Amino acid sequence: MKYRIWILVIPLLAAAVLVSMAQSLPKRYGLGQPAPADLIAAWDIAVTPDGKGLPPGKGTPAEGAVIYAAQCASCHGANGEGGTADVLVGPEPKEFAPFGPQYEKSRGDGKDVPFTIGNYWPYATTIFDYIRRAMPPSAAGSLKADQVYSLTAFLLAKNGIIGDTAVIDAKTLPAVIMPARNRFVPDDRTGGAKVR
């Protein structure tokens, strides 16, 4: 009989201990530290489609070609045709997105085209933002603003979006109209039962 009582009491005691421990968890675990404002500011480098957040600096396609050859071609190909990393250059198709019924009809049995800066990206500022944050992968964030502007200019020129002598900076980059801009629409849904 005593043995049966213990079978009931032990799980109840264990549950009581667990509840007690859960209610007395520390408010702070002693890990990490508050981020100082200057550290947050250093990482606050977002660039919006309208150009907000672009730093001072400028670049040209010719300057970008030199940087691209040294920093990017080994992964993306000498002309942006792809390699171990994505294809960057390829403005086709121009009339519609590289997906969907219209594209499938035009493609027929032909090979799929890759999504590139020239046929898919809706904002030129996104190119700058991505390069600045993530490239080159072995030293992400190491490129100076002028280098990023130059690489952006090079890629835009290779895709036939800007001329070979264009100068890209914080004013001219947001003004670049990407071929795919009208293929994207703002999400104006409000949620819940009102989702369209």
Assess whether pLDDT exceeds 90 at residue 162. Answer: yes
Assess whether pLDDT exceeds 90 at residue 34. Answer: no
Q: Which has more pLDDT, 20 or 172?
A: 172
The residue whose two tokens read 């049995």 is 109
pLDDT band for 74, please (50, 70, 90 cuts).
very high
- Chosen CATH of 57-183 out of 1.10.357.140, 1.10.760.10, 3.40.50.1000, 1.10.3720.10: 1.10.760.10
**39-55 per-position pLDDT tens digit:** 888 888 899 999 999 99
pTM, rounded to two decimals: 0.76
Alpha carbons within 13 angstroms on the beta-carbon side of residue 61 total 14
* Average pLDDT of the chain to the nearest whole number: 88
What mean pLDDT do residues 2-27 have? Answer: 70
Assess whether pLDDT exceeds 80 at residue 23. Answer: no
Assess whether pLDDT exceeds 70 at residue 2. Answer: no
Confidence at residue 93, expressed as pLDDT on a 0 to 100 scale: 84
Q: Which has more pLDDT, 95 or 130?
A: 130
Q: Return the sign of the alpha-carbon dihedral for residues 142, 157, 183, 58.
A: positive
Domain boundaries, the chain: 57-183
